[in-house]
Amino acid sequence: FAKSADAGAVIASPSTSNPDYYYQWTRDSSMVFKVLLYSYLNGNSSIDTFLRELATESDKLQRTSNPSGGPRCSGAGIGEPKFYVNGAAYTGGWGRPQNDGPAIRATVLIKFASVLLDAGETSYKKDPSQTVIKNDLEYVANYWQVSGFDLWEEVQGQHFFNYMVQQRALIEGAELATRLGDTGAATWYNQQAAAIKAALPSFWSSNRGYLISTLNTGRNGLDCGTLLGSLHGNGKRGFGVYPASSDEVLVTLHKLVDVMQPLYPINTAPNAPGIAIGRYSSDAYDVSGVGTSIANPWFICTFTVAETLYTAINQFNARGSIIISATSLSFYQKFLSSVTAGTYSSSTSTYTTIVNNMKAYADSFIATGQTHARSNGSLSEQFSRTDGLQKGARDLTWSYASFLALKWARDGNTAF
């Protein structure tokens, strides 16, 4: 058991120095909670107690006053990004607020609540002001327009990833509110979700030909976080806004990989199994802090490219066709150079060739991760751009969660 940790705490990493990640982040914890819940939904009943402990810990953190503000009732304190593993507030300097964590946590807890309600449990029918879900949703609905930090905790502004997960949380939150008879809240959440949906097209840059991660910054905007936003903002269900199979997401993936390929020496090694992917091309966070050097590839980002490709394939299969436009043509020509714009049904040889080649390409990103994993399967935060050895926080829980998510997507079972 982790030293001094609450039963429901998800520790980002056991590393306590260089870097110190022995904390619980709302975002990271929710990403882990999501894969655990998906495992539970697929028959792993042994983790029922731990899932309830995770929910209890979330309640505790919401009740904890912190530098972002007071506790509960949609207060600004819900946007506090990280806490000590015993649930105490972290009062040091940090990038505050971070508005994505409450949205992801709400999405996971909404699913968990729905499962419990289906089973006849009534614990989620109490006073709404006393539920984690309600408070997260009220925070998202009231603060989504407020400038916050990105998922990498570096840039303050308006972010694609945040908007995507916030829209999803509000839509699903409205559905749960309707089920529980809170029609006023449902209307409010749907109104705010619609406003986010209307704002999302501003992240598409027609001049650059890809989705940018953050509005009005000096960066080029190509960022692994955009792919994560598509995945976690849609899930298996999808909300019709930038799913993995959309032209915009696929061309963004294509250009991100093209930028990353020459950036890291390990990508040009003779026996490289595939391309290692970092967060963004100008990243300078090289374990010890933000400096002037080129940073390293991340397991999360390398696996996210693979998961996006597998998810797109799953969506093609569900639709029964691939639709190629002038915008996405260059992406598809990577897998069949002679292909032209048009619609190709799943019964055509063109469809089969593209899908098979996309699967092989996606597998190469898994092979890259496997090459740089330790012999016991351990995954850190990063691996060196020059020799491939692991760097950064060891045993990063989000790295493991990202691998599980891509594994399920590869099997055709995209998580909820």
Q: Please give the Cα distance from 212 to 220 (Å, whole number).
A: 7
Q: Please give the backbone phi and psi of residue 45, each rounded to the nearest 5 degrees, phi first.
A: -70, -15
Instruction: Please list, in sequence order, all residues whose beta carbon lies within 8 angstroms of the beta carbon of residue 232, skipping any fewer than 6 positions away.
Output: 31, 34, 104, 107, 161, 164, 165, 168
Q: Which three-class secondary structure state does DSSP give residue 219?
A: coil
**Could you give the CA distance from residue 255 to residue 264 in angstroms, rounded to a whole number?**
15
- Residue 150 designated active-site: yes
Query: Which has the closest alpha carbon to 256: 236, 280, 273?
Result: 280
- 28, 80, 150, 395: the catalytic one is 150
Catalytic residue among 53, 59, 153, 363: 153
Give the tokens for residue 157: 């502004």
Six token digits for residue 192? 């705010």
Rg over CA atoms, the chain? 21
Is 223 tagged catalytic? Answer: no
CA nearest to 279, candidates 160, 163, 152: 152
> With contact defined as beta carbons under 8 Å apart, do 288 and 282 qualify?
no
From CA 363, how far away is CA 145, in angstroms rounded?
38
| Active-site amino acid positions | 150, 153
